[in-house]
């Protein structure tokens, strides 16, 4: 095998999703909704599939024309500037491919990429496959004010961040709202990052896949609104299983996007035409009803807000301290108050949270994700006391999880 694959053969989604299936566990692990996408998306997809032969053929490699046009209009309005549908956008297979193209397009052997911990796990292997080195900077729970009970209490030290920039730094990845913590970065925090990017001529890759999911007045802000830092925004429609997983995109300056397109045209080439058509129809609808109560991007966070409070209450009632997320659809909780005897000498070298989650799946039938999976090997040992719950689930699924949690106390 190629050297670039060394050390990245394990994948938590593959491992824990299989385990959850094997034990038929109630699944609050992998982040996917267990309910159907909204009717308008299902209808648009059915119509596209039945829409004649062009929908079953290749479309434009860098994005189906109706989709890039509406994305340019939609995000042009969000960003308050003109976006060229033909030059500034690349449609990808989910946000995964947008990330992959970004790293392959920008990172050379020996380059460094700054990643903020905890981070969505695929950033590190993707940086490695591009020949780069990941350099980590942690969000730390605010000290002094007792327990950090909200994701807002986890902060980045500007000095520590600045110390990570070197002449080899090529890019920094940010993820807001963050997975797994749910932190929504504030304008001031983003300004610090943007200023450092300008100073060191570094590109910011901004993973915003949960952009529309914010709670309690937290506001999603896009980095570098008023400065000239290089930014690539990655996105998808959240929680639309059909499309969120098939169709993602990157938006950025054409000088950078042209290189992402080179990677795309020589690897994936293009994503399914009918799915792109359905997303285009969905976005047109969202464009037309933006900000009204008809908007799915408004309805979804309202629905999730209730599920989030409910899960938090449930965890608290069984003595698991949750950190309330400001955004996204994950919640992490501290498990250190639970003393469990795993009785499994074979797995002693695994982090505590991995062993805990395996025990929870096998013995209690509830699947979650260990949070140390979102840390670098160097810092994993400091964060073994949290597990991640996903709440983009049917109420029946949340009820079943609650039953399990209540019973074991």
- Site for ligand GLN, rule CB under 6 A: 13, 30-31, 179
State in angstroms the smallest separation of the CB of 12 from ligand GLN: 8
State in angstroms the smallest separation of the CB of 348 from ligand GLN: 27
Nearer to ligand GLN, 15 or 162 (CB): 15
The residue of the chain with the least Cβ separation from ligand GLN equals 31
Nearer to ligand GLN, 64 or 236 (CB): 236
Nearer to ligand GLN, 59 or 151 (CB): 151
State in angstroms the smallest separation of the CB of 121 from ligand GLN: 8
CA distances from 343 to 21, 336, 340, 346, 365 (A): 23, 17, 9, 9, 17
State in angstroms the smallest separation of the CB of 142 from ligand GLN: 25
Outline where DSSP puts E strands in 110-180.
Answer: 112-117, 133-141, 154-156, 169-175
Q: What are phi and psi of 79, to 5 degrees?
A: -85, -15
Which helix (H) or strand (E) segment holds residue 232: the answer is: strand 231-236
Nearer to ligand GLN, 13 or 35 (CB): 13
> Cβ(377)–Cβ(16) under 8 Å?
no
CA distances from 141 to 154, 164, 330, 380, 403 (A): 4, 19, 17, 15, 31
Nearer to ligand GLN, 11 or 267 (CB): 11
Nearer to ligand GLN, 13 or 40 (CB): 13
Nearer to ligand GLN, 31 or 132 (CB): 31
Nearer to ligand GLN, 129 or 340 (CB): 129
Write the Ramachandran bin of 19: left for phi over 0, alpha for psi from -120 to 50, otherwise beta.
Answer: alpha
Distance of alpha carbon 137 from alpha carbon 193, whole angstroms: 12
State in angstroms the smallest separation of the CB of 190 from ligand GLN: 22
State in angstroms the smallest separation of the CB of 243 from ligand GLN: 15
Query: 65-79 vs 273-289: helix axis angle to the nearest 10?
Result: 30
Distance of alpha carbon 250 from alpha carbon 99, whole angstroms: 8
Exposed, middle or buried by CB within 10 Å (0-12, 13-18, 19+), for 74?
middle
Distance of alpha carbon 154 from alpha carbon 21, whole angstroms: 33
State in angstroms the smallest separation of the CB of 184 from ligand GLN: 16
State in angstroms the smallest separation of the CB of 179 from ligand GLN: 5
Sign of the CA dihedral 266, 70, 96, 225?
A: positive
């Amino acid at each position: 095998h190629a050297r670039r694959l060394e050390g990245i053969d394990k994948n938590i989604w593959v491992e824990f999703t299989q385990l959850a299936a094997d034990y038929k566990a109630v699944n609050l692990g992998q982040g996917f909704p267990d309910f159907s996408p909204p009717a308008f998306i299902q209808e648009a997809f059915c119509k596209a599939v039945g829409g004649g032969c062009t929908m079953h053929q290749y479309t434009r490699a860098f994005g189906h024309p109706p989709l890039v046009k509406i994305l340019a209009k939609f995000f042009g309005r969000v960003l308050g500037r003109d976006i060229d549908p033909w030059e500034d956008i690349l449609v990808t297979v989910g946000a995964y491919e947008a990330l992959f193209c970004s790293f392959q397009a920008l990172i050379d052997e020996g380059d460094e990429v700054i990643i903020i911990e905890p981070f969505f796990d695929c950033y590190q292997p993707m940086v490695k496959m591009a020949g780069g080195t990941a350099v980590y900077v942690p969000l730390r729970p605010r000290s002094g004010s007792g327990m950090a009970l909200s994701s807002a209490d986890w902060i980045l030290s500007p000095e520590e961040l600045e110390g990570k920039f070197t002449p080899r730094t090529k890019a920094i990845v940010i993820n807001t709202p963050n997975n797994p913590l749910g932190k929504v970065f504030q304008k001031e925090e983003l300004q610090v990052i943007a200023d450092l990017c300008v100073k060191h001529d570094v590109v910011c890759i901004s993973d915003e896949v949960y952009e529309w999911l914010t709670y309690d007045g937290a506001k999603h802000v896009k980095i570098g609104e008023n400065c000239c830092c290089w930014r690539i925004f990655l996105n998808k429609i959240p929680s639309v299983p059909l499309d969120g997983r098939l169709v993602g995109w990157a938006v950025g300056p054409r000088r950078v996007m042209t290189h992402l397109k080179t990677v795309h045209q020589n690897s994936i080439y293009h994503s399914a035409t009918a799915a792109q058509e359905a997303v285009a129809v969905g976005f047109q609808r969202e464009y037309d009803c933006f900000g009204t109560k008809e908007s799915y991007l408004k309805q979804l966070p309202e629905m999730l807000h209730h599920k989030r409070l409910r899960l938090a209450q449930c965890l608290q009632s069984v003595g698991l301290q949750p950190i309330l997320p400001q955004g996204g659809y994950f919640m992490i909780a501290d498990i250190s108050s639970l003393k469990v005897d795993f009785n499994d000498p074979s797995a002693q070298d695994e982090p505590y949270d991995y062993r805990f989650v395996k025990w929870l799946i096998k013995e209690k039938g509830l699947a979650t994700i260990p949070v140390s999976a979102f840390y670098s090997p160097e810092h994993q040992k400091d964060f073994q006391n949290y597990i991640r719950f996903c709440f983009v689930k049917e109420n029946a699924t949340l009820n079943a999880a609650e039953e399990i949690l209540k019973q074991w106390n």
